[in-house]
Amino acid sequence: MIGNGTKALTDFVLPGGESTLGAYRVLYDALPVAIYATDAHGRVTYFNQAAVKLSGRVPELDSDQWCITGTLFRPDGTPLPHYQCPLAVVLNGGEAAAGVECIAERPNGERIWFSAYPTVLRDAEGTITGGINILIDTTERKRAEIEASQQYRAIVETTPECVKIVGSDGALLFMNPQGLRMIGDPSAQAAAGKNIYDLIAPEDRDRYREMNERVCRGEKASLEFDIVGFEGKRRHMESHATPLRQLDGSIVQLALTRDISERAEAQRAARLLSAIVDTSDDAIISKNLDGTITSWNKSAERLFGYTADEIIGKSITLLIPPERLDEEPEIIARLKRGERVDHIQTQRLRKDGAKIDLSLTISPVKDGAGLIIGASKIARDITPLKRAERSSLLLKAIVDSSEDAIISKNLDGTITSWNESAERLFGYTAEEIVGKSITVLIPEELLEEERKIIARLKQGERVDHFETQRLRKDGSRLDLSLTISPVRDSTGKVVGASKIARDISERKRAEARQLQVESELRRANEDLEQFAFSASHDLQEPLRSVKIYSELLTLDYGGALTGEAQEYLKHLCAGVSRMEMLVRDLLSYTQVTKFDRPREPADAGSALSAACASLNSRIDEASAQITFETLPAVPVHGAHLQQLFQNLIGNAIKYRSPDRAPVVHVSACRTNGHWTFAVADNGIGIEPEYKENIFGLFKRLHTSDEYSGTGLGLAICQKIVDRYQGRIWVESEPGQRSIFYFTLPGG
């Protein structure tokens, strides 16, 4: 429009311009744009009212040269001398672009922007006759432009995000201060002339390059990537980019980039937290203040039996047993006051209706403004604990009612518990002794023994029925049997010991009495044996004299005696023989214990042969048959073994059946580490009621008239096997057979 106007005005210029102008003067005066005309030298020859309004002054005709305004400035603020103003340039034959922008200062100091459209006037020959300049006031537009650009600048500079312009080759063309801070270069020195690709973390560089090239082809794009700043710090960024067309038509990337490291970190932390919440052994639940459940972790699923899907959105009262429903309003009231509810022990319901013992810790949850909007609840299953508590209360009753003292102590010997029996036994009350050292109960000389016990406990060993002595409070001694077990903590480490102490004073006293009786008895037995030995030994001598003289009497004077005297003499000789046998047996009986422990084992086969040799005449006389199996060597005296065989085989021949020749079989078998010998005969046998009796001293089932004997043979056998902790017994079928068994050590 303006351009067209300028052209039109030029068209009107005719040779002798002044008068031509005059024809249009009224028109020019009425135009709302400033117009002035000059002569060929630039002197002002005309101006309209709009020119006065624009310049803020009344131009001086023929005096003002080239322009009608006061001081001039270029758009960049530098002074513009009047002779270089747009009209001066064209009048001097130069080129001046239409719409050249200038700034003029009005006399009141106000600056205005205008665009100048200068034109030269020429005559028919083309000689410059003057000039016309049209000035368009652009102050308002310019101000708006400046304001807008200042606003943009302010936005760019104050936005917390990075604003940057990146060339299609990655060159960093512009970056706001926030951006510079984000890349660790607040002074912009390192960033100047940099390629943005160098700042992108290597693993994201290709993606970023691809995005930049796409944007520079005219597309919008968004991308998350990591940068490594100049200071080496890694940041996670989110960028939204748009193509920006340059004046030369090329496209660059304008991007708004935000540092989301914290958000990413927060997301990571949130993920971590949620993983922790899910792996927690405790049930973690959150709810609104109206009791609606808003979150429910895995342990809550396990503990209560509801899945998160089933329960979220439901009321927490679903979990509360009817008799405990009044707990909830009280808890809510405390939470609303901002209080935390710590470790309250209560019961809740599982989905299957079972009650569980729980410890609850409930904390208020606040929103960003600090307003309480709900609660988080940590529920720990204490059912096993409660069960343990209940069983320990039982246990406590047992401990208290136990007859035994039950004490526990630390590894350093400090007493930690003390039951009622311990009070009775030791005379200390629990108050007096708990916290004291166990050594107050231990006699001085037994302290070392206690140290050894502690060492065994530390190894995790148990000490069973250990008999020792301890001190009562009054200083007297107690005989005790101690059973001590290590006490471990939850990790299995031995941290102390529990001790059960049984008073064995009474038993010890009884044992001592028993020992005394036994030793008295032993002494009496020894005296008796000594007496029997001496008596039988000393009796042998006079007995031999009686025997010799009675035999001499029979031999030398038997014929001279009457029949009745001869009968008396026969009885005398028989009595002497029996007496001799008795004395001999008695002597062997007393001699059983005379031998020391054998140095080497005796061969039972040899002992049997020796026994048979000494029984030779009786075997022959009875036509007895003696058979035997392989016999072992046993750790006993050979003489004892021989005596056993001799007495048993002798009896087998003596108590033979009148109907058959005696057959005796000797054998041995090994059982449970000892040898069991058997001497079997086919004799008259023994009635069951006498099976035990016959092993006693002088016990006989027959008179001397029926069978000669002293009743000592089996008693000697019994004494021999007793000496070797063996056993002797008989199995018999009366009239058929007897088998005498005896056991000896296996060696």
Q: How far is the CB of 589 from ligand ADP (least distance, A)?
A: 10
DSSP 402: -
Paired residues of 165 in beta bridges: 174, 254
Q: Which of 184, 632, 711, 747 binds ligand ADP (CB under 6 A)?
A: 711
First to last CA, the chain: 141
Query: Helix (H, G, I), strand (E, B), or coil: what is residue 573?
Result: helix
Distance in angstroms (rounded) separating the CA atoms of residues 632 and 207: 98
Q: Residue type at 13?
A: V
Cβ distance to ligand ADP smaller for residue 382 or 684: 684
Among 174, 133, 151, 167, smallest CA distance to 37 is for 133
- In the bound state with ligand ADP, the residue whose beta carbon lies nearer, of 225 and 655, is 655
Which residue of the chain is nearest ligand ADP when measured via CB? 709
Of 573 and 701, nearer to ligand ADP (C-beta) is: 701
Closest distance between ligand ADP and the C-beta of residue 675, in Å? 21
User: Which positions from 460 through 499 interact with ligand ADP, judged by CB under 6 A?
Assistant: none
Of 212-220, 480-488, 557-565, 679-687, the segment contacting ligand ADP by CB under 6 A is 679-687
Stretch that binds ligand ADP, among 49-57, 214-222, 625-633, 682-690 (CB under 6 A): 682-690
Q: Which one of 291, 496, 709, 726 is in contact with ligand ADP (CB under 6 A)?
A: 709
Asked whether position 625 contacts ligand ADP by CB under 6 A, the answer is no
Cα-to-chain-centroid distance, residue 71: 88
Span interacting with ligand ADP, options 166-174, 177-185, 470-478, 699-707, rule CB under 6 A? 699-707
- Residues 6 or more apart whose CB falls under 8 angstroms from that of 227 comprise 182, 183, 199, 200, 201, 234, 235, 237
Using rule CB under 6 A, residue 578 touches ligand ADP = no
Q: How many whole angstroms separate alpha carbon 502 and alpha carbon 404?
A: 5
DSSP string, 89-100: HHHTT----TTE
Site string for ligand ADP, 636-665 (x = CB under 6 A): ---------------xx--x----------
Nearest residue (CB) to ligand ADP, 271 versus 702: 702
Nearer to ligand ADP, 117 or 655 (CB): 655
Distance, CA of 4 to CA of 17 (rounded, Å): 20
Q: What are phi and psi of 64, to 5 degrees?
A: -65, 135
Query: Got the DSSP string for 382-441?
Result: -HHHHHHHHHHHHHHHHHHH-SSEEEEEETT-BEEEE-HHHHHHHS--HHHHTTSBGGGG
- Give the nearest distance from C-beta 696 to ligand ADP in angstroms: 8
User: Whole-number minimum distance, CB 590 to ligand ADP, in Å?
Assistant: 16
Q: Which stretch binds ligand ADP (CB under 6 A): 203-211, 478-486, 627-635, 704-712?
A: 704-712
Residue type, 203: E
DSSP code, position 747: -
Burial state string for 347-376 with b = 16 or more CB within 10 A and e = fewer than 16: bbbeeeeeebbbbbebbbbeeeeeeeebbb
Give the dihedral of Cα atoms 47, 49, 51, 54; nearest 10 deg: 170
* Binding-site member from 234, 245, 477, 702 for ligand ADP (CB under 6 A): 702
Asked if 260 and 224 touch (Cβ cutoff 8 Å), the reply is yes
Instruction: By CB under 6 A, name the one of 454, 569, 572, 701 that touches ligand ADP.
Output: 701
Does 738 participate in binding ligand ADP (rule CB under 6 A)? Answer: yes
Pick the binder of ligand ADP from 710, 719, 724, 742 (CB under 6 A). Answer: 710
What is the nearest approach in angstroms of ligand ADP to the Cβ of residue 631? 19
Out of 277, 686, 728, 739, the only residue in the binding site for ligand ADP (CB under 6 A) is: 686
Q: Are 21 and 39 in contact (CB under 8 A)?
A: no
Closer of 433 and 652 to ligand ADP (Cβ): 652
Task: Pick the stretch among 95-103, 228-236, 480-488, 696-704 that binds ligand ADP (CB under 6 A).
Answer: 696-704
Secondary structure of residue 293 in the 3-state scheme: strand
Min dist. Cβ of residue 678 to ligand ADP (A): 12
Query: Residue 346: helix, strand or coil by DSSP?
Result: strand
Q: β-pairing, 494-503 with 283-288?
A: unpaired
Q: How far is the CB of 525 from ligand ADP (least distance, A)?
A: 20
Answer for which of 43, 240, 537, 700 binds ligand ADP (CB under 6 A) is: 700
Let me know: does 739 contact 679? Beta carbons within 8 Å.
Answer: yes
Nearer to ligand ADP, 445 or 705 (CB): 705
By three-state DSSP, how is residue 366 classified?
strand
Residue 580 beta carbon to ligand ADP: minimum distance, rounded to whole angstroms: 14
- Closer Cβ to ligand ADP, 360 or 586, answer by number: 586
Q: State the Cα–Cα distance between residues 214 and 199, nearest whole angstrom.
A: 19
Question: What is the binding site for ligand ADP (CB under 6 A)?
Answer: 651-652, 655, 681, 683-686, 694, 699-702, 709-715, 738
